[in-house]
A and B are shown apart, each in its own frame.
Chain A
Amino acid sequence: MQKQTPEEQVLETLDRLSGMESSFCAVYVAMSRLSSENRGYRQLEIVSKLFEPLLNHAQSRLFLLSNHDFLLITAHPSLETIDDVLYQIKSLFQDDVLISLQKPSDFEQIFFLDREMDRLKALIEAHRQKISTNVQTPSTPSLVEAFTPEILEKILSSLEHMDTLDFIRRQAVVKLSSKGQNKVFFHEYYTSILNLQKALCPSTDLLTEKALFHQLTETLDRRMLGALSHVSLYDYPSAISLNLNISSLSTPIFEKLAKSWPTRLIVEFQLSDIFTNLKGYHQAVKILHDKGHLVALDNITALDFQYLDVLGLKADFIKLFWSPKWAQPEYERQLYALIKSNPKVGLILSRCGSEDALQWGKKVGLHYFQGRFIDAILAALAKNSCTFGQECSLSTCLICRSVLSGKLRQQCVHQRHLDAPLEIKVK
């Protein structure tokens, strides 16, 4: 006998409520509406935990639908409790780009079953039919294999025989000033985890196990530092930034690169690494400053600013992880105050994936920007100013500009132009 799908279980449950609808309501949370990075198993676990206050009696049941949306059916609901739970769930995903583009009712709905039973049944029936016709919705997360120590061992072993340069990418940080003196301020060089994962372990999500991932990054640091010693570009930006573990700064290979690289280095650190070894971080800052290099904090969210004295870490740059949450009044005010009282701290708005992010950043007084939207602008400028620009698509230009060597870069017939400084005009 075929196992019932969650949708079938829901419909069966709703049928059993016939005659008792007035006592019941349903709460629907559409996880499928979120970006893929917010629909992993960990996020689903967190959300299921947040439903707990509503599951405290026998007449409550939580369903996880096939597309990973949640449906809670409960008797005698406390609307205040429902509101609290939904508020907590929404707070978790304030950073999600897709949330900001949709109506609130697209993400969460409450159905009062005495009058909305049919509407709910229709919604679930539509899901059920999609499954039965094997229609893959774009929101269905793919299955992942657990990231285990054994898989890490295999990855590390594979890395010994690979050219890491193939996985190194660069992304520009631009400075846009009100006086029109726009330029590429520095390039971030990083190992593309996505491409590494695709090549070595496509069914494993390397970000699900933080400790193992950090261990992997220690090796990736060394491989990247070694690979950069062999990079040869036509032009170098005034600085490059590297995401490194604190421990990597005391390696001979970092010393070698720091001496041989022709321009300034900016070393980016993660909060998780800093708060594992705060003393080591302070020492690293001193060492880098003594050598004329700079320090950046990476992936700083609005919540980090709320709960931590980020400025107290005395970095030269802080990379703000863009999300619509920054545009909320309390965070915007905080940022205004920060910019006013700390004009020397370079605040970089990273993960600018849209013009909205850029415009917001300019509005609050930020000057440094990084992200896919900026990449697209730079690629368009490069293509337009290139003698052979007509021969390439914008996406090809984007890809070629993001790599330092290898087959992808060789697609470009005018490689010198990939490294050339660009005149940036942004409205």
Chain B
Amino acid sequence: MSGTLGDLIQFLEKFQDDPKGWVLGLFFDKISSALTEEKLKVIVDNLKTFENERLCRLFLSEQEAFLFVSETRPDDLKALLIKIRFISGMQNTTRKEGETYAIFHLTQDFDKLMNILKGQTVISEKPVLTSASPLTQVFQTHTDSMPFTPALLGQLERALQHADLSNITRRQPVCAIVGKSPPLELFEEIYVALSDLRKALCPNVDIYESPWLLGRLLETLDRRVLESIIHHDAGSFNKNFSLNLTVKTILGPDFQKFDETLNPALKETVLLEIKQSDIFTDVSAYLAARSFAANKGYRICIDTVTADSLLFLNREKLGADFIKLIWNQDLVSLAEDKAFIQALKQNDPSRVVLCRIDDKVAVELGQAIGLSLFQGYYIQKLLYQNPKAHKSR
């Protein structure tokens, strides 16, 4: 019968004078955002079957599993790992060993494993955000909801300063869909999943209740994503992606460092998404940032545009390459509205991305008004149903 993590610690302590054997650690909450309950059950069933068939011990918690095998059976463990990676989709991610799983050879790694189990360190060098992380204790001591205050924002920012955000950083594709053709991916937007961040760090805090503090948090996350790209994922993020940035960040030292890591020839495939409100806070600063970024080869996308704000924008005059128009049901009636259609025409529909799409009605309407670029969960789903289109970019 599978034991708990407490049982594992007691079990391992028996070997501390002469540690032998192998332990496979699996960290479910970091394996994949697509790890459904069903898949998790299959994995756990496989672990239990393995335990029953071989001389080994399984220790389980909600977030982790540790499987101990004797000194002579490492290959069994590795074969099992291959199977689990296949079931969970871990083989399709760029996450590294140490983040989703780890294999400990107790002869060398006994102390390291014990420290992890006793909560004194984490596997990756940086603290990884999980709901069990010590960093979260500040925010999870209360069961009632907590207001989102500047003090709390300060604590969040400190927690984020050195944390590894890779498990809550997401990519969402922007695709071209013409007629009945399957979606063809053009680039991916890289962003931090706020809901996952909230779940990991402050589930009792409504971070959306204060738009300005949320805006500041997003700025902080922008910069952390930049750092993350510079230091950890340069191989994955070298072309065909977009980032959400403020004018201030583009003009600051973090962007400078980011710029230095990119192959100059590929900068044209990188889009910088700037919120419309950021542009109109200080048009002259925006123009300076745009000029600076354009000279480097980057392209600019005006983000968070709505059907009514489109009427006020002139994409070409603002020197932007794309506009992201937020989908909502109001667009259905606006499809017949002359002023809206005129504004769309003036901004060039081929440069407008209809985003936050959650069903095919949005795609059909978008196509009806001349759009061909789309983004959203529905598009993601369509794209992943057609793996060739996903890999063809």
Interface residues, chain A, CB within 8 Å of chain B? 42, 45-46, 49-50, 52-53, 88, 91-92, 95, 148-150, 152-153, 156, 209-212, 214-215, 218, 247, 271-279, 282, 301, 303-304, 306-309, 312-313
Digit string of B234-273 for contact with A (CB within 8 Å is 1, else 0)?
Answer: 0000000000000010011000000000000000000000
**B-side contacts of A307, CB under 8 Å:** 283, 314, 317-318
Report Cα–Cα, A211/B277, bound state, in Å.
11
Confirm or deny: B367 has a beta carbon within 8 angstroms of a beta carbon on chain A.
no
Other CB < 8 Å A-B pairs besides A272-B277, A275-B279, 9 of them? A42-B251, A50-B291, A52-B296, A149-B157, A149-B213, A150-B151, A275-B276, A275-B277, A313-B312
Q: B212 touches which one: A52, A212, A271 (CB < 8 A)? A: A212
* Chain B contact surface mostly: helix
What are 17 A-B contacts defined by CB distance under 8 Å?
A42-B285, A45-B251, A50-B288, A52-B292, A52-B296, A88-B291, A91-B287, A95-B284, A150-B151, A156-B150, A211-B212, A215-B210, A215-B212, A274-B280, A308-B312, A308-B313, A313-B312
Residues of B within 8 A of A211 (CB): 212-213, 215-216, 219
Question: Which listed residue (A92, A301, A313) contacts B288, Cβ 8 A?
Answer: A92
Complex alpha-carbon distance, A42 and B285, angstroms: 9
Complex contact B280–A271 (CB within 8 A): yes
* Segment among B46-54, B114-122, B194-202, B303-311 that sits at the interface with chain A: B303-311
Q: A92-B288, A150-B150, A218-B212 are in contact. Are A210 and B312 (CB under 8 A)?
A: no
Q: In the complex, are the beta carbons of B153 and A301 less than 8 A apart?
A: no
A282 in contact with B150 (CB, 8 Å) = no
Smallest CB separation, B139 vs chain A (Å): 15
Given contacts A153-B151, A282-B308, contact A49 B280 (CB under 8 A): no
Closest residue of chain A to B343 (Cβ to Cβ) is A309
* Chain B residues packing against A (C-beta within 8 Å): 149-151, 153-154, 157, 210-213, 215-216, 219, 248, 251-252, 276-281, 283-285, 287-289, 291-292, 295-296, 306, 308-309, 311-314, 317-318
**Are B318 and A49 in contact (CB-based, < 8 A)?**
no
Contact A312:B311 (CB < 8 A) given known A50-B288, A50-B292, A149-B150: yes
Across-interface contacts of B252 in A (CB, < 8 A): 45
CB distance from B300 to the nearest CB of A (A): 14
Q: How far is the CB of A227 from chain B (nearest CB, A)?
A: 22
Q: In the assembly, what is the distance between CA of A212 and CA of B251, in Å?
A: 19
Collect the chain B residues with CB atoms within 8 Å of residue A277's CB: 211
Q: Chain B residues near A50: list those with CB within 8 A.
A: 288, 291-292
**A276 CA / B213 CA spacing, docked (Å):** 13
Q: Given A218-B212, A278-B308, is A46 in contact with B281 using a C-beta cutoff of 8 Å?
A: no
Q: Could you tell me if A278 and B318 are in contact, using CB atoms closer than 8 angstroms?
A: no
A331 CB to closest chain B CB (Å) equals 13
8 tightest A-B contacts by CB? A149-B154, A211-B216, A272-B281, A215-B212, A149-B150, A152-B150, A275-B277, A211-B215
A46–B288 CB distance below 8 A: yes
Cβ B292 vs Cβ A212 within 8 A:
no
A209 close to B154 (CB less than 8 A): no
Q: How far is the CB of A190 from chain B (nearest CB, A)?
A: 19
What residues on B are CB-neighbors of A52 within 8 Å? 292, 295-296
Q: Contacts of B287 on A, CB cut-off 8 Å?
A: 91, 303
Measured CB to CB, the closest approach of chain B to A229, in angstroms, equals 25
- Residues of chain A within 8 A of B292, CB atoms compared: 49-50, 52
Bound Cα distance A271, B284 (Å): 14
Measured between alpha carbons, how far is A303 from B283 in the docked complex, in Å?
A: 7
Contact residues in A for B283 (Cβ distance below 8 Å): 301, 303-304, 307-308
Task: Write the nearest CB–CB distance from A268 to chain B, whole angstroms.
Answer: 15
When distances are taken between beta carbons in the complex, the residues of chain B under 8 Å from A282 are 308
Contact assessment for A308 and B212 in the assembled complex, using a CB-CB cutoff below 8 Å? no
A218 to B209, CA, bound (A): 13
Report yes or no: A278 in contact with B216, Cβ–Cβ below 8 A: no
Contact check, A215 vs B284: say whether CB atoms are below 8 A apart. no
Q: A49-B292, A153-B151, A210-B281 are in contact. Are A215 and B213 (CB under 8 A)?
A: yes
Docked-complex contact A212 and B248, CB < 8 angstroms: no
A187 and B18 alpha carbons, distance in the complex (Å): 84
> In the assembly, what is the distance between CA of A307 and CA of B154, in Å?
35
Per the bound structure, the CA–CA distance linking A272 and B311 in Å amounts to 16
Chain A: minimal CB distance from B289 (Å): 8
Partner of B280, one of A46, A148, A247, A275: A275
CB neighbours of A309 from chain B (8 A): 311-312
Residue of B nearest to A273 (CB): B277
The answer to whether B312 touches A148 (Cβ under 8 A) is: no
User: Given that A88-B291, A212-B212, A308-B312 are known contacts, is A153 also in contact with B306, CB under 8 Å in the complex?
Assistant: no
The answer to whether residues A209 and B284 also contact, given A49-B251, A275-B277, A309-B312 and a CB cut-off of 8 A, is no
**Given A275-B309, A304-B283, A312-B311: A150 and B154 interface contact (C-beta under 8 Å):** yes
Q: Report yes or no: B150 in contact with A215, Cβ–Cβ below 8 A.
A: yes
Complex Cα gap A152–B311 (Å)? 36
Instruction: Tell me, rounded to whole Å, the shortest Cβ–Cβ distance linking A236 to chain B.
Output: 32
User: A303 and B154 in contact (CB under 8 A), knowing A209-B216, A279-B308, A312-B311?
Assistant: no
Q: Which residues of A contact B308 (CB under 8 A)?
A: 278-279, 282
Give the distance in Å from the alpha carbon of A4 to the alpha carbon of B223 in the complex. Answer: 32
Q: Are B280 and A272 in contact (CB under 8 A)?
A: yes
Q: In whole angstroms, what is the CA distance A272 to B279 when docked?
A: 8
Query: Which of A92, A210, A212, A273 touches B150 (beta carbons < 8 Å)?
Result: A212
Residues of B within 8 A of A214 (CB): 212, 215
Tell me the nearest residue of chain B to A270, going by C-beta.
Answer: B281
Q: B40 CB to closest chain A CB, in angstroms?
A: 37
Q: Are B216 and A153 in contact (CB under 8 A)?
A: no
Choose among B150, B280, B291, B295 the residue that contacts A153 (Cβ–Cβ < 8 A): B150
* Residues of B contacting A272 in the complex (Cβ-Cβ under 8 angstroms): 277-278, 280-281
Say how far A371's CB is from chain B's closest CB, in angstroms: 21
In the assembled complex, the Cα of A45 lies from the Cα of B348 at a distance in Å of 33
Residues of chain A within 8 A of B276, CB atoms compared:
275
- Most B C-beta atoms less than 10 A away, residue of A152, A275, A304: A275
Complex contacts, B211 vs chain A, CB 8 Å: 247, 276-277
Whether B285 pairs with A46 at a CB distance below 8 angstroms is yes
Contact B288 A88 (CB under 8 A): yes
Q: Tell whether, in the assembled complex, residue A149 and residue B216 are in contact, meaning their CB atoms are under 8 Å apart.
A: yes
- Bound-state CA distance A301–B284 (Å) is 10
Expressed in whole angstroms, the Cα–Cα distance for A10 and B216 within the complex equals 39
Within 8 Å CB of B281, what residues of A?
Answer: 210, 271-272
> Which residues of the other chain, A, contact B210 by a CB distance below 8 angstroms?
215
User: Given A218-B212, A279-B306, A307-B318, is A42 in contact with B280 using a C-beta cutoff of 8 Å?
Assistant: no
A308→B251 contact, CB < 8 A: no
A57 CB, min distance to chain B CBs, angstroms: 15
